[in-house]
Amino acid sequence: MNVFSRIIDFVLFSNLFLALSVTSLVFETDGVLHRPYSGLSYPFFLFFSTLFLYCFHRIYNSGRLSASEKIPTRHLWVRNNPNLFLIILSASATGTLICIFLFIPLRVTCSLIPIGLISLGYTIPCIPWKGKRIRLRDIPGIKILLISVVLGLTTVLLPVMTYSGPGTLLEPGVIFIFIRRVFFIFAITVPFDIRDMEFDEKQNTLTIPLMIGIKHSVILALIALGGFVLLALAQYFFFHNLSPGSLTALTLSALAAAVIIRLTDKPRSDYFYSFFLEGTMMLQCLLMIAANIFWK
């Protein structure tokens, strides 16, 4: 393996690319609202906290894989680079705590407590059920919804509250962005459950693809993207608080995501999911930045 391939594997499978993609949605929110942030404290917090949570989730799930199973590339990378992965986990935890205690307003920190508990409960068995403890993600059909709502909160409502105060959360533009974000994240998360069907079935985690099948899951994801576009159109034509450039950027990002989602009805490599699907978040941000620069 050459140096370039090692760098690609490190960025993709250490969750760095995912954390950057999630963080980019904060700037996409800013691009729609045309409300510049007064600092980078929240984006840094979101980057470090996302990196920590997904690294923690990756380590936890890697430990649940048996030696006889075919180990996915993303988990194999963790097993082959345990010390490096622990350094990333420790650094992300440290960065998260520094941001919380030194830079994030108290009103936002208080709002983060239930979100943090939900995020940990997603991975750690904490709910008593029939004599044992289960994870939040083990509740039938709730896995994708949890991810969608949490990312909607952390990439829309919390950054707006951080820099503009809680009074702005009920503005129509903010509400539209939040609902659209939930639809978009839901759509691009469905394929990950399709990828993980075999593992989830062994773990007795009843996800949407296991409940309705691959074909109908892809259709559901595309319907969610359709809802995302319809909300953007409604905001543009009826509320007039979305610019033509922003509408075009959002529509193009939805079309790109639809093409990629359509390709997930067949088995794909971890590289496909880690770059193309997660990259749709970053693509949406870049399209929004381009629209704001060249289409004012």
- Please tell me the predicted confidence (pLDDT) of residue 265: 85
What is the per-residue pLDDT for 225? 97
Kindly report the CATH number assigned to the domain that includes residue 34: 1.10.600
Distances from the Cα of 170 to the Cαs of 158, 164, 174, 236, in angstroms?
13, 12, 7, 18
Q: Please state, in angstroms and rounded to a whole number, the distance separating the CA atoms of residues 159 and 26.
A: 7
**pLDDT given for residue 248 in this prediction:** 95
24 φ, ψ (degrees, to nearest 5): -60, -25
pLDDT for 113 equals 92
The dihedral region occupied by 135, where left means phi > 0, alpha psi between -120 and 50, and beta the remainder, is beta
Which residue is associated with the tokens 């622990």? 86
DSSP state, residue 72: P
Asked if residues 147 and 189 have their Cβ atoms less than 8 Å apart, the reply is yes
pLDDT for 190 equals 96
CA-CA distance, 33 to 173, in Å (whole number)? 7
Total domain count, the chain: 1
pLDDT in tens, the chain (296 residues): 588 899 999 999 999 999 999 999 999 998 888 766 557 899 999 999 999 999 998 887 766 665 556 778 888 898 889 999 999 999 999 999 999 999 998 888 999 999 999 998 898 888 887 788 888 888 888 989 999 999 999 999 999 888 887 888 888 889 999 999 999 999 999 999 999 998 888 878 889 999 999 999 999 999 999 999 999 999 999 888 888 999 999 999 999 999 999 999 888 999 999 999 999 999 999 999 999 888 76
Cα 197 to Cα 206: distance, rounded to the nearest angstrom: 9
Radius of gyration (C-alpha) of the chain in whole angstroms: 19
Contact between 181 and 25 (Cβ < 8 Å): yes
Angular region, 141: left φ>0, alpha ψ -120 to 50, beta rest: left
CA–CA distance, 159 with 165 (Å, rounded to integer)? 9
| Structural domain that includes position 10 | 3-294
How high is the pLDDT of residue 1? Answer: 58
User: What local confidence, expressed as pLDDT, does residue 220 receive?
Assistant: 97
Answer yes or no: are the C-beta atoms of 192 and 147 closer than 8 Å. Answer: no
